[in-house]
Chains A and B, each alone.
Chain A
Amino acid sequence: MPLGALFEDAVRALGDAGLDVAPLREAGRRLVVEADGTTYITTRPSDVPTYVESGAADIGIVGRDVLLERSPDVYEMLDLRFGGCRMVYATPGGEDPTPAALEHLGVVRVATKYPATAAAHFTATGRQAEVVKVNGSVELAPLVGLAHGIVDLVATGRTLRENGLVEREEIFHSSARLIANRVSQTLKADDVDRLLERMAEKTS
């Protein structure tokens, strides 16, 4: 289970699919919650694929943004259609500093929490970029001269606007995905398939 923005929707989706999610709502700060027939592990979204890849969890719910950044060796089973957001490249308002940076410096400097995604986007578009990994408040970086722009996830765009940033390029759309461990997908095929079927009914 991903902590943060996806958590509520994820609990609802599993509840709709017939899992016992009541203990999860009353979990408080506990990170491992036992319910009838299911053990829930709650963790940062970026760690969800790690737990599923290693088999510590059989299935997980996580945003597509994390999957594209981390490329974990897991099955991507289902688009759950909530947690919609977009990965974008944004720079301060006014004239886009990107072309000037590329012309004079040869590179554009980009701050992001998603270094693999940012590097892949600039490589794919034939531009050189220096990617600076930051862990929070990415919007700050171009305001104080750490970078020309940022690559980040936006839902409504409010944070960008409040910090005077303008979206310049859209990189991809993201939404929550159901992922499964390679082995669990076969050894616990009945359980995984049943859940998948019920969740697919709700999302289609």
Chain B
Amino acid sequence: MSETPPAALPDGAKDVLAVEARELRAVESALRERFGRFGYREVMTPVLEFAEVIDRAQEGGLREAFRLFDDHGRVLVLRPDLTIPVARLVATRMADHPGPVRVFYLARAFRPPPAGRPRASEQRQAGVELVGANGPGADAEVLALLVESLRAAGLDGLRIGVADVSLTAAVLDGLGVEPDARAALGAALGARNLVEWRRLARAALSGPDAELLAGLPGRRGGAEALEEIAARVPAAGPACARLRAMLALVAEHGAGDAVVIDLGVLRDWPYYSGVVFEAYAPGVGEPIAMGGRYDGLAGRFGRSRPAVGFAVTLDLLHRALTGAEAGPAPPRDGLVLVGGLDDDPRGAAAARRRGLPVVALAASDGDRAERLAEADGWRFVARREGPGYSVLDRATGQRTSCARLEEALPSPA
């Protein structure tokens, strides 16, 4: 007797079964509905793109991505994120759109999993791009939409940290930090190494300037966190004023309580040019959403326009919503009908027309009806009984007789 070899999946890949799929779809539709209320329209891009096009988004170094060849030997990638393909789409296909362009996507991105880390190689993402609108108002709309859509999905305890790469650059300019030191500071920040950042800051400058720079990534809070910077480094004044104005607008959207200044928020990708932000949820050890402004990105593909957007990682959002305390899913309104496949398709069809999901079984499979209902989470099990049906309600354990199947449903209150 030969055994079937195990049907394994590659590292980082996973199947999604019915309960998780339904929960993910519920999250998606909550986000989709909110994106729509702000006038964003859905777009879709292909999974496969030319590597040369995707790699244009950043100088130096290749992005982590699955790479393969087409039949002419050209290098393709499985899209490693959606921001770059959507920027390409808007810059090329919508170049004559009067703007601002508001688009959203619900799609999967593919990234090789790092060795020894439990990260999925395929990530479901939901995001928006607001293209062709500059100024604090556009940033504020995108932040408010992020807060509203995550809350609409049911998330509590949301916190969004906001920084601004142009502000950090203005502070470095204003303090007169040399280019070599800037590069080293950037590398330290990219590695989240605050020990190294402080050491470099104190090596590059002296006195209160060094302490201001050393403490920069640790600055958090409301608008007051910006005032000292603006006072001490006049060159950073305009960037501070812009960020303050944006925070005030976010508050008018009704999202101010979730948004804080956090100059430690970093972005590894060099295409960001203005605000950058990350969304945190209790119980999830990495940001569930990230975004920012990248005014230089679209111009690498076609029509150059300023842009701001975000991407939510749906699996992390789902994890934040589900948590460890989620119990078994309650049974759903739906009915397993013994004989629905052969004895009584007419009764099944009638009930389906009334909107009741009916799972049909052959008459000879009656002994597995309850087990099937339990495995798939259906609330009712029905059998023929005389001219009508005997229906078991698994939620209450009660058995009732009725003439038509849809009578089993509790009457709408």
Contacts and interface: CB of A to CB of B under 8 A. Distances in A.
Interface in A26-44: none
B195 A76 contact: yes
Nearest to A79: B195
B252 interface: no
A155 interface: no
B316 to A, nearest CB: 10
Contact of B264 (A73, A184, A185): A185
B194 A77 contact: yes
Interface stretch (B46-54, B279-287, B364-372, B380-388): B279-287
B285 A55 contact: yes
Given A186-B159, A187-B282, A74 B287 contact: no
Interface residues of B, number: 23
Interface string B159-189: 1010000000000000000000000000000
B280 A187 contact: yes
9 contacts: A54-B285, A75-B192, A76-B195, A78-B195, A186-B262, A186-B264, A186-B280, A187-B159, A193-B220
A55 B285 CA distance: 4
Contacts of B218: 193
Contacts of A53: 285
Interface stretch (A15-23, A128-136, A140-148, A175-183): A175-183
Nearest to B217: A75
A68 to B, nearest CB: 10
A8 B285 CA distance: 28
B275 to A, nearest CB: 16
A56 interface: yes
B220 A73 contact: no
B276 to A, nearest CB: 13
B333 interface: no
Interface string A41-76: 000000000000111100000000000000101111
A44 to B, nearest CB: 15
Contacts of B262: 186, 189
Interface string B191-214: 111111000000000000000000
A74 B282 contact: no
B285 A183 contact: yes
Contact of B192 (A76, A78, A184, A186): A76
Interface in B257-303: 260, 262, 264, 278, 280-287
Contacts of B286: 55, 73, 182-183
Contacts of B280: 183, 186-187
B52 to A, nearest CB: 28
A189 B193 CA distance: 17
A189 B194 CA distance: 15
B284 A55 contact: yes
Interface string A70-92: 01011111110000000000000
A75 B194 contact: yes
Contacts of A78: 194-195
Interface in B305-363: none
Nearest to A56: B285
Q: For the complex, would chain A's binding face be called helix, strand, loop or mixed by DSSP majority?
A: mixed
Contact of A73 (B157, B192, B194, B283): B192
B284 A183 contact: yes
B195 A186 contact: no
Contacts of B195: 76-79, 177
A183 B264 contact: no
A77 B191 CA distance: 12
Nearest to B280: A183
Contacts of B159: 186-187
Interface string B119-143: 0000000000000000000000000
Q: For B191, B280, B282, which residue has the most chain A Cβ atoms within 10 angstroms?
A: B280
A55 B320 CA distance: 12
A183 B196 contact: no
Contact of B194 (A55, A76, A182, A183): A76
A183 B287 contact: yes
A181 B284 CA distance: 10
B287 A182 contact: yes
B284 A74 contact: no
A74 B192 contact: yes
B310 to A, nearest CB: 16
Contacts of A177: 195
Given A187-B159, A187-B280, A182 B196 contact: no
A187 B220 CA distance: 11
A139 B333 CA distance: 67
A73 B278 CA distance: 15
Closest 8 CB pairs of A and B: A55-B285, A76-B193, A183-B280, A75-B192, A54-B285, A79-B195, A186-B161, A76-B195
Contacts of A187: 157, 159, 280, 282
A54 B161 CA distance: 19
B285 to A, nearest CB: 2
A71 B117 CA distance: 11
Contacts of A73: 192, 286
A79 B282 CA distance: 27
Nearest to B159: A187
Given A183-B280, A186-B161, A189-B220, A76 B285 contact: no
